Structure 1
Amino acid sequence: MLIITIPEIMKFSGDMKILDMMPTGYDVQYVSTLFNTLGTTGRDSYLYHQLPLDLIYPFLFGISSCLILAYFLNKLGKLESSLFYLCLLPLLSGLFDYGENIGIINMLKDYPNISTLQVQTTSFFTVVKSVFTTIYFIILIITLLALAKNKLFTRKV
């Protein structure tokens, strides 16, 4: 997506960011301007090239990221503690990513008759997806640092 479909859409967007890539959300004015700037070809590219791939990504991200965190928590001996629930964060991120994708699909299909509620709901999904993803990566980094500390500490003893 990052090397093919997103650059393809960006050719039509006049360097405006696509909705998937706006972690702080967007408003009706931005969505209308973006979709207008994309034109029919750009909107079709978004709908028929980018979003079908982005319906696979949340599942793959959610499962693989959950398993990666579980693996490292297990290495720390913490998988069977309440820290196990942290493994759910990427799954929640994936769930909100699906909500975002469905919202974008609906807005592209409804364009130019996009409602404020559609945009607000889809933007909410985008922001929550971004928050869960960010928290996940912070937790993964902390987990990796704890693992590295344990490895260094056990070598010295």
Structure 2
Amino acid sequence: MKDLIQKNISGKKVLLFFILANLVYAAMLIITIPEVMHYSGGMKILDMMPTGYDTYYVNTLLNTLGKSGRDSYLNHQLPLDLIYPALFGISSCLVLAYFLNKLKKLDSLLFYLCLIPLISGFFDYGENIGIISMLRDYPNISVLQVQITSTFSILKSILTSIYFIILIITLLAVAKNNFFPKKG
């Protein structure tokens, strides 16, 4: 895994994955999420709830969405959200690896921090599969379906937050090295 990452941290590849991931994310934020939220009566969709949700909320949301809103969620939002976790995981992994390499820390244990966005992407897939399952099973959603999907949502959010904190710290270290190089 380390060799694969090291072979793909050229600036152009990192930038390409970063742009692709953010184009898909922008499409979701600008087009598909507002489309689904048009039907939600102001309720947040499950993808946008970092602290999770319970069965009451899920049933209320899916009822409020109605058939058209549930179809929009299933056929417009979720197909894009099945592309995004891989793009986010890969691009974020490569971005962090790129900057750790600039710090000459990629060969240290810090390398394993690059795996956090890949694991976050895994949990995002779990969340998406759970949401697809609930949309298809509605109105017969089980408490267990909701609990498992909500857990995936929470874990995705925690790991994504940890990743961005690590990235900010890494970028600050790179900036410090660039503006205040070590003498000697």
Q: Does 1:62 align with 2:89?
A: yes
* RMSD of aligned residue pairs (Cα, Å): 1.1
Matches within 5 A, 1:3-22: 3-22=30-49
What residue number does 2:3 align with? none
Kindly state the Cα deviation for residue 156 of structure 1 after the two structures are TM-superposed. Answer: 8.0
Aligned counterpart in structure 2 of residue 30 of structure 1, from 57, 67, 82: 57
Q: Does 1:150 align with 2:177?
A: yes
Which string of whole-angstrom CA distances, capped at 9 and with x for unpartnered residues, describes residues 104-151 of structure 1? Answer: 000000000000000000000000000000000000000000111111
Q: In structure 2, how many angstroms separate the alpha carbons of the residues matched to 1:153 and 1:31?
A: 51
Matches within 5 A, 1:105-124: 105-124=132-151
Q: Does 1:52 align with 2:79?
A: yes
Letter of the structure 2 residue corresponding to residue 49 of structure 1: H
Q: TM-score, normalised by structure 1?
A: 0.98
Q: In structure 2, how many angstroms separate the alpha carbons of the residues matched to 1:114 and 1:108?
A: 8
Aligned counterpart in structure 2 of residue 96 of structure 1, from 123, 140, 145: 123
| Number of equivalenced pairs | 157
Q: In structure 2, how many angstroms separate the alpha carbons of the residues matched to 1:87 and 1:154?
A: 25
Q: In structure 2, how many angstroms separate the alpha carbons of the residues matched to 1:92 and 1:132?
A: 8
Matches within 5 A, 1:130-141: 130-141=157-168
After TM superposition, the runs of 4+ consecutive aligned structure 1 residues lying more than 6 A away are: none
Q: In structure 1, how many angstroms separate the alpha carbons of the residues matched to 2:65 and 2:120?
A: 27
- State, as a whole percentage, how many aligned pairs show the same letter: 77
Kindly state the Cα deviation for residue 103 of structure 1 after the two structures are TM-superposed. Answer: 0.2
Extract unaligned runs of 5+ from structure 1.
Answer: none
Q: In structure 2, how many angstroms separate the alpha carbons of the residues matched to 1:152 and 1:10?
A: 45
Extract unaligned runs of 5+ from structure 2.
Answer: 1-27
Kindly state the Cα deviation for residue 155 of structure 1 after the two structures are TM-superposed. Answer: 8.1
Kindly state the Cα deviation for residue 91 of structure 1 after the two structures are TM-superposed. Answer: 0.0
Q: TM-score, normalised by structure 2?
A: 0.84
Q: In structure 2, how many angstroms separate the alpha carbons of the residues matched to 1:22 and 1:115?
A: 19
